[in-house]
Every structure is written in structure tokens, then in C-alpha cells.
Amino acid sequence: MSAIDYQAFAKAWQAGWNSHDLDRILAHYSDDIVFHSRKAQALMGDGKIRGKEALRAYWAKALEGQPDLIFTVEDVFEGHEMMVITYKNHRGVLAAETLYFGADGLVTQAAACHREG
């Protein structure tokens, strides 16, 4: 596995989300991504999204409902082949995403946690 520049990843991740460009956002994720989120449960009926195309469908629906969505990275925690990004959305709600990377540097598993707000 090549070394990941976690700070650069977080900046690119934020820029992708703030562009609302699904191709740009999804470029960070493997085809077999598994994504865990209570918000996915509420919006899609399943809190575990499997595969990039299913993730695209979820995020397309989520972005459609929040056209003013903006993320601001608050902090980055670096681990072994994984990281945690904490960020606030356009409403000031704090969230965290834990991202696990494969040997190719793409995210293979991710989990999002949000404060109520």
C-alpha cells in the first residue's frame, strides 16, 4: 500500500462534496465500497450501502434534498490505512466519517456519524 497523504485527501474530499459533482466525490471510493450511515437508513431504507452505484444513488438523492449542502473539515485523525474526518455541514451540524483504505488508496469501507441537529 502506498502512503496516503491524509491531509490532502481531506481537502480533496471536502472540495468534491462542495462541488456536488458525484463523479468527483465517488472517485475516492472503490467499486465494492461498503458505507454505513443512519441517514442512509432513513433515506434509503438500509443503513448499509453496498457498491459504488448504490452509493451514487444514495448520495444523488441526498444532494437533491440539500442543494445548499457545504462541508467544512474541522479535523483529520490519521490511522493505519484509515482516517477519521470531522466536519460541519452548512447548518453547523458536526459529523465524523471513518474511512478505511485498500492497497490502491481507494476507500473500501466508510461509516458516517452525525450529531443530531
pLDDT reported for residue 42:
87
Residues 14-24: tens digit of each pLDDT: 999 999 999 99
pLDDT reported for residue 43:
86
Q: State how far the Cα of 65 lies from the Cα of 23, in Å rounded to an integer.
A: 18
pTM over 0.85: yes
Q: 34 in helix, strand or coil? A: strand
Burial 35-71 (b: 16+ CB within 10 A, else e): bbbeebeebbeebebeebebbbebbeeeeeeeeeeeb
pLDDT reported for residue 36:
97
Residues 97-108: tens digit of each pLDDT: 999 999 999 999
Residue type, 10: A
Q: Can you list the residues of the chain whose pLDDT is less than 70?
A: 1-2, 117
